[in-house]
A and B are shown apart, each in its own frame.
Chain A
Amino acid sequence: MAAIEILGLEKTYMVGFWRKRPKRALQPLHLTVDDGEIFGFLGPNGAGKTTTLKMLMGLVFPTAGRARILGRDWTDPEVKAQIGFLPEQPYFYDYLTAHELLDYYGQLSGVPAKDRKNRVEEVLQRVGLTDIKGIQLRKFSKGMLQRAGIAQAILHSPKLVFLDEPMSGLDPLGRREVRDLILQLQQEGKTVFFSTHILSDAEALCDRVAIINQGELRGVGAVEELTKSVQGKVEVVWQGTQVPASMKALGGEFHVTGETVRTVISENQQDAAIDALRRERLRLISIVPVRTSLESYFVEKLQHSQTTAGTSA
């Protein structure tokens, strides 16, 4: 079963004070997230990530389109009991302590009174908020608020968790902890949908990612798939200081560094290269497929969209 099916959600905001003009924040979006996946929603600032999440949460109404969450219509109140949401730069009732806040949210999510106390302690532990008894949220640092935000998102053990930039505001250790937490959630059988513009996080965590720019979906797929060898190239490295003629014939550029030579050739010349090196009795160090990093894929996609946007304008 699909955890999330986004069926053409789109959003046009009306902006301006006197004369309202339409501003397209999201083109009709079609996207399916499977049960149990960690799904990354990537895009630069202003791409429409938060807008999409807010529509899914029922905080903002789509101009058109609909969605299904956990097999139900997304506006169904039943759905809300089974999802958790961390907003971007979360802010909470600052006159409450974290314990009070979570207890209140537990009440609203229908966590039974007898479980609430333990559950609150447990999630606070899990997000690394300790020694905060009696401290009002107005005295929390940005990273502490972010942690409290994650705590409230998983408090009621939802089946599906939406996180809008879960790593923002966290120190390196905190980011690592949140990464681990997201992986744990997956192991517990939950689905995680998170937005980010930090590619390394997406690369490390996600089963699949979607890339969105200027409100438009640019690509969806497994991280491996998206970063798969660009046009089937391999990198060959061998020991030596010179390039034999038989290798030169294969073309490409050769980089000599110290005792090794490195070149990039196309995949189908791989065997020819191995043979050539063997004939010359040169020691082969490695042959690996060249992968674009998610980052270069991302940059490429964005540049592409900029040029298409430029031509259509």
Chain B
Amino acid sequence: MNARIVHIASNTFREAVRDRVLYNLIAFAVLISAAAIFIGQISIEIERLVVINLGLTAVSLFGVVIAIFVGIGLVSKEIEKRTLYTVLSRPVRRWEFIVGKFFGLAGTLVVNTFFMALGVFGALLYVAHRFSGADSSIFIALYFIILQFLIICALALLFSSFSSPLLSAVFAFSLFIIGSFADDLRGFATLAHGLTRWVATGTAYLVPNFSALNVISAVAHQQPISWQLVLQNTLYTLFYTAMALSGAVLIFDRRDLK
């Protein structure tokens, strides 16, 4: 990768760390420990199922909130505070800035997810006393969760390149919710008629397909996850992220800085 992108990404990571973004891990640790103790006391057979379900859902939600709230500020805050002036007056292309920022946040989220995953495995060990072979599919669920973060980061960046931070957050969060029901929406589209069908189909395919990226419940129930799905989700995320980032670059490239 181009060195400037790496420098911008690592500075973005440093910013996140110094802005205490990783402090969310404390809240996560408290939550997961409390849950583990609580579940360990009440249930008999379903501890594993509950811990995985709850743990991974928390990992996903914590990350989504960070992706949205840090993501919408990545570029807009730099424009607002005018820190960009002394960056873009250097040999840095605008697209490099966007891509660097994106990777910086993505890196932050990967590190954050790594620590949260340790928490989930710790909780699992606490309630089940040992790991089983089926637990390895938790890694796939975590991988999908990270893919989901990438899409959300890119969308937050895209929205913040043309709208206010508040609106961007609302847009990104709405898309996260709608995207989580993408499967249902696609199902609904096939049932509808006329204009509704067109609108529903269009929406269903335009919103990020987070249903396909959510395998938490399948993993909790020890259902196998196919390699096709892994491949398909990887390609889908690459494509969707690239499109969203290109949109952000196209808008940002033409924009006057205040």
Contact = CB atoms under 8 A, between A and B. Distances in A.
Contacts of A109: 90-91
Contact of B3 (A87, A91, A107, A149): A107
Nearest to A62: B256
Contact of B15 (A54, A78, A95): A95
Given A78-B91, A104-B7, A108-B91, A92 B256 contact: no
Of A13, A78, A89, A107, most buried by chain B (CB within 10 Å of CB) is A107
A109 to B, nearest CB: 5
Interface in B45-102: 81-93
B47 to A, nearest CB: 42
A61 B254 contact: yes
Interface string B1-40: 0011001100100110011000000000000000000000
Interface in A94-112: 95-96, 104-105, 107-110
A58 B89 contact: yes
A81 B89 contact: no
Main secondary structure of the interface of A (DSSP, over half): loop
Contacts of B231: none
Nearest to A107: B7
Interface string A54-77: 100111110000000000000001
Max count, chain A CB within 10 A of own CB: residue among B3, B81, B90, B254: B90
A80 interface: yes
A91 B256 contact: no
Most buried by A among B7, B88, B89: B89
A117 B235 CA distance: 42
Contacts, number: 72
Given A104-B11, A107-B3, A93 B91 contact: no
B9 to A, nearest CB: 12
Nearest to B255: A61
Given A107-B3, A108-B7, A90 B85 contact: yes
A54 B87 CA distance: 13
Contacts of A152: 86
Contact of B18 (A59, A87, A91, A95): A95
Contacts of B92: 80, 108
A80 B86 contact: no
B257 interface: yes
Given A107-B7, A108-B4, A81 B91 contact: yes
A81 B87 CA distance: 11
Contacts of B82: 87, 89-91
A83 interface: yes
Given A59-B257, A95-B15, A95-B19, A77 B93 contact: yes
A85 interface: yes
Contacts of A87: 82, 85-86, 89
Given A77-B93, A107-B3, A85 B254 contact: no
A294 B45 CA distance: 89
B257 A54 contact: yes
Interface string A149-161: 1001000000000
B89 A93 contact: no
Contacts of B254: 61
Contact of A58 (B15, B83, B86, B88): B88
A87 B258 CA distance: 12
Contacts of B89: 57-59, 80, 83, 85, 87
Nearest to A136: B18
A90 B85 CA distance: 9
Contacts of B4: 107-108
Contact of B90 (A60, A90, A92, A105): A105
B254 to A, nearest CB: 7
Interface string A28-62: 00000000000000000000000000100111110
A252 B257 CA distance: 56
B78 to A, nearest CB: 9
A91 B83 contact: yes
B88 A57 contact: yes
A301 B60 CA distance: 64
Contacts of B18: 95
Contacts of A107: 3-4, 7
B256 A93 contact: no
A61 B85 CA distance: 14
Contacts of B19: 95
A85 B87 CA distance: 10
A59 B88 contact: yes
18 contacts: A54-B85, A59-B84, A59-B89, A59-B256, A60-B256, A61-B254, A80-B89, A80-B90, A81-B91, A85-B89, A87-B86, A90-B82, A90-B85, A91-B83, A104-B7, A107-B7, A108-B90, A109-B91
Listed from nearest, the 8 A-B pairs whose CB atoms lie closest are A85-B89, A95-B18, A87-B85, A80-B91, A107-B7, A57-B89, A60-B256, A59-B257
Given A54-B257, A80-B92, A95-B14, 18 more contacts: A54-B85, A57-B89, A58-B88, A58-B89, A59-B256, A77-B93, A78-B91, A80-B90, A81-B91, A87-B89, A92-B86, A93-B15, A95-B18, A95-B19, A105-B90, A107-B3, A108-B8, A152-B86
